[in-house]
Amino acid sequence: MAAIDKKSPTGIVEKQQQSRRRFLNILLTTGFAGFATAIIYPLMKYIIPPEQPEAVVTSIVAAKVGELKPNSGKVFPFGSKPAILIDTPSGELRAFTAVCTHLQCTVQYRPDLQHIWCACHNGHYDLNGINISGPPPRPLEPYRVNVVQDNVWVSKI
């Protein structure tokens, strides 16, 4: 008889105790795993929120007519990223993304240099958005500028 331990006169009782202990271990392990999952899953869903699609912005009022003086610039929100509107020294309005192509820093207009400048790593762009010095690897993305009544509209090309 394989189920009876021959060394012990109460072999059947010892096997039953081992069987009960094994059952309790499985029950406790499963219960703990379920409890841990019930705690950790909602916590992870809270810490890592689901991705939500960004609202598509194709056009926005960046300024009022006359708000910008010649040889000045204004950074404004364009969707989830900043953009820059520049009134060139000749009075022409131009707009670009205000995100540097090097490490995504926000650029600004420097009236003393008459070009766009990234303060993070001293990147320079001309008034056409083309990188002229520093580490930026490519030009800024240009936007279309339209003046409608009293508003300066900036839209993606």
Q: Which residues contact 31 (CB under 8 A, 6 or more apart)?
A: none
- Mean pLDDT for each 10-residue chunk of the chain (157 residues)? 52 70 91 93 88 80 89 91 93 93 93 92 93 92 93 91
Give me the pLDDT at residue 1, please. 45
Q: Which amino acid is at 113?
A: L
pTM of the model: 0.66
Q: Which of these, 117, 109, 52, 62, lies nearest to 86 by C-alpha position?
A: 109
Each domain of the chain, given as residue ranges in start order, spans 1-52, 59-156
CA distances from 57 to 5, 12, 92, 155 (A): 78, 77, 24, 8
- Predicted local distance difference test score (pLDDT) of residue 79: 85
Q: How many helices (H) and strands (E) does the chain have?
A: 1, 10
Domain range 59-156, its CATH number among 3.40.309.10, 2.60.120.380, 3.90.228.20, 2.102.10.10: 2.102.10.10
